[in-house]
Each structure stands twice: as C-alpha cells, then as structure tokens.
A and B are shown apart, each in its own frame.
Chain A
C-alpha cells in the first residue's frame, strides 16, 4: 500500500514538473544578418507585393505606434486580405490560432503527413512564403510538403495535374489549371455583377466534407452534375485522385430520372 502510494507521488511530481518546464520555454530570439536580408529583398523585389507598393514596413511596422514587428502574424495579412484570413481561421489549418492555441503542426494531424514536415508550424507564411508570394507554390507544392495521404500523392499523376502543368501562368493560376487549391481552397466571387471581387475561401474544411458540398461548390464548376456526383461518391476514385472517368451509377440519379420520366409522361 505504502509503496504504491510512493510511486504515485513520484509520478505526479514528475508530471507536474513536465507542465512547468513546458511553460517555461519561451519563443526564440530574432536578428537578421546582411545575407539573409539581401536574400529576402531579392525574393520580394519581383513579387506581387513589391509591385503593389507593399514594402517591408507595410508588414513589419505597427501602423499606429510605428514599432518594429519582427514576426508579423495573420493580423498583418488581414489588413489587406480580410476574407482570406477570416476563412483561414475557421478551417482546420487556422482554427488553433483563432482559439488562442499554438499553431497547427502536421504532428497533430490525424491524416498521414510527411515525416520531415512534422514540426512545421501552420500560418499564412507556411504556404505563401510572404516575401515571394507565389500563388503557384501555395496551390500545390505547399500542400504536398505536409500532406502524404494517397489522394494527395496521386495528384501528380492525375488528369487534373496535367491541366495544371499545361496552364501555369504568373502571377497566379488560371481558371483552367486544376490544383489542390482549385478544389480545396476554391475561389468565390463575393462582388456584385458590375464589380466582381474574387476571393479565395481559405477554410480548408469547408470544401472537403460532406462531399455533396464539394460537388456543388467545386466539381460542378467544370463538370456536369451526374459526372460530378458519380465521381465524388466513389471512394476508390477519390483515393486515386480521379484517375479514370466514373463508373458508378448512383441510385439517387436513377430515381430522379425515373420520377422525371413519370412526371413528363414519357
């Protein structure tokens, strides 16, 4: 009895100690060498940011106090990219930041992730490399840096990837190129008829599940309804990243066709 008690006491002290130690570790220090600064400036000089007059101070200096900001957060991005950041924070990628937790890392994920990427920290810069702001990298390569499930791995050999290879244009992917982002971080027009405003929905969970939402929001941008439904509800086809045309014939669609025939009296 006594021995058992002593062991429990030791164990609890150890666990409590681990909490304290964990809390004591602070953020890393920051300083930039000339070489690093030079490299960053070169990346930035040909970026869309530079040509839009977004200078170092636009992100690295607090607007009100003019205080230097070493590591700007999504709040800085939000001052121009409101919809992107707002939606990012609602998906699995950003929700931990929104809820005041440490940012997401692949180590926390339940899906298979690349071993060497386990400790990468998820924020805007992870996919967008904010100094070069290359939307092509963000649309495929950034995803595959971490995601290692079969669907992701099979993208490279898919018909969609062929379209992507054929039509990569700077400064950003065209409407014909199909990337990971085309389906999972899709574009929306939130503007008016006369004044379109195309934004990217960065809530990565919204166009993922349930699949019927994907069919409408994404697949049907390029495919007919029946093709889209017969593809998205075929598990093997999803895993293969749509390697072949759909062979599924959904009962739902047969029922609709039957009721339509009955209705029109043919």
Chain B
C-alpha cells in the first residue's frame, strides 16, 4: 500500500528535478551567451558578430563595424565614398549618366546609383566585391551580344568584366576611343613619362640636433 503512494510522488519529484535542471541549464547558457557577446563587444573582438565572409577589399577592417555601419541603418553611398572617392572620380555609371532621359529608365532594372546594389558586403562575391551575378551588364546591354546593336558576336554574357575587358566605373582606359587613339604605339616609348621628384635643400649641413634631454628622460 505504502509503495503505491510513494511511486507517483517519486516520479513527480524526478520530473520536477529534470525540468529544473533543463531550465537552469538554458538560463545559464543564455546568461553566458549574453556575457560572452558583451565581452566580445566591450573588448573589441567584434569579428564574432560578422554575418558572413567579408570581401578581400574590406577584410582588413572587418572588425571595425562603425567604419560602414551607423547603428542598424543601411550603409549609405557617403560611407563608401569616404574611402573610394578616387576610384569614383570619373564614374561612368554615375548620377550624371542617369540624368539623361535615354538612360534614366534603366535605373528600374538595376538601382545603379546605390553602391550596395552591386557591392553588398558579408555575402558571396564574384570578384571586385560584386555580389550580383557576373552577367549583370545584360540587364541593360543585352543588345551588345545579340540583336541589332551586336558588336560582340559570340561573346558570353558573364565575361564583360570578369575577363578584365570592361571596367564598370572607369571607362578612361577601356573604351573604344582610348584604345583606337593609342593603337600602333611603339613597345617602348622614346621617353618615360614619369614625373621626376626633386628635392631642394635649405642647407648644406645638418643643424644641431635638439631635444637630447627629452629623449634620455623619456615621456613625462
């Protein structure tokens, strides 16, 4: 009789004990995870927050979240231009291009005026930090390889920039005009066009070195 009473209560305790241990473990783990992430944030080990592989160009600053991110706001063009102004100085697909009514409509095919449309970070990229598929040019330039405008008969749709021939932002070097103008130059130009740097000295001999005492003492 007494055995019959004890069995259900023992089971209840066991169940309760098991529940408590699971609960405790889960709570402890959550707490520790928070502490761990907090420590990572506070002590500058921010790589634990990276959502995916960083592109080659940015990998050296991947732990410097604030370089590109302001809180959880989307990354803006201004952020990119903080470092990439020189590369974008003569942007062939810039705002000026799309102000022309002939091309303005093309922005609906690709939002080309937003850097992150093609250069999304922390995702797979196909070279040059471009996350769109390599045939992205075809959104607007399909006619180059087929149709009435074809000048590139038989070329593949994904080779425009991956083969090195075209540079989306910079047409200064790879454009028909530039190449045509510079055909038939000699292999070695008669004179190198490198600028010479000259130094004009203010004096013939060095002045007396100063700060001797400060060096010996070290910083205050």
A and B are partners in one complex rather than unrelated chains: yes
Q: Number of contact residues on A: which range applies? A: 35 or more
Q: A37-B216, A224-B185 are in contact. Are A16 and B39 (CB under 8 A)?
A: yes
User: B196: CB under 8 A from chain A?
Assistant: yes
Q: How far is the CA of A15 from the CA of B39 in the complex (A)?
A: 9
User: B97: CB under 8 A from chain A?
Assistant: no
Main secondary structure of the interface of B (DSSP, over half): loop
User: A206: CB under 8 A from chain B?
Assistant: yes
User: A241: CB under 8 A from chain B?
Assistant: no
Q: Which residues of B contact A196 (CB under 8 A)?
A: 195
B128–A256 CB distance below 8 A = no
B164–A211 CB distance below 8 A = yes
B39–A175 CB distance below 8 A = no
A257–B183 CB distance below 8 A = yes
Question: Contact check: which of B173, B180, B187 meets A213 at CB < 8 Å?
Answer: B173
Question: Contact check: which of B83, B180, B187, B210 meets A223 at CB < 8 Å?
Answer: B187
Q: How far is the CA of A63 from the CA of B52 in the complex (A)?
A: 45
B180–A51 CB distance below 8 A = no
Q: Which residues of A contact B217 (CB under 8 A)?
A: 31, 68
Number of B positions contacting A (CB below 8 A): 71
Question: Contact check: which of A2, A30, A45 meets B25 at CB < 8 Å?
Answer: A2
B210–A95 CB distance below 8 A = no
What are some 18 contacts across the A-B interface (CB < 8 A)? A12-B32, A12-B36, A51-B203, A60-B211, A68-B214, A101-B60, A175-B192, A175-B194, A186-B194, A188-B195, A196-B195, A206-B86, A222-B193, A245-B187, A252-B174, A253-B179, A256-B176, A260-B183
Q: Which A residues have a C-beta under 8 Å from some C-beta of B?
A: 1-2, 5, 8-9, 12-13, 15-16, 19-20, 22-23, 29-32, 34, 37, 41, 44-48, 50-53, 55-57, 60-61, 67-70, 90, 92, 95-96, 98-101, 104, 108, 110, 171-172, 174-176, 182, 186-189, 196, 198, 200, 203, 205-206, 209-213, 215-216, 220-227, 233, 245, 252-253, 255-257, 259-260
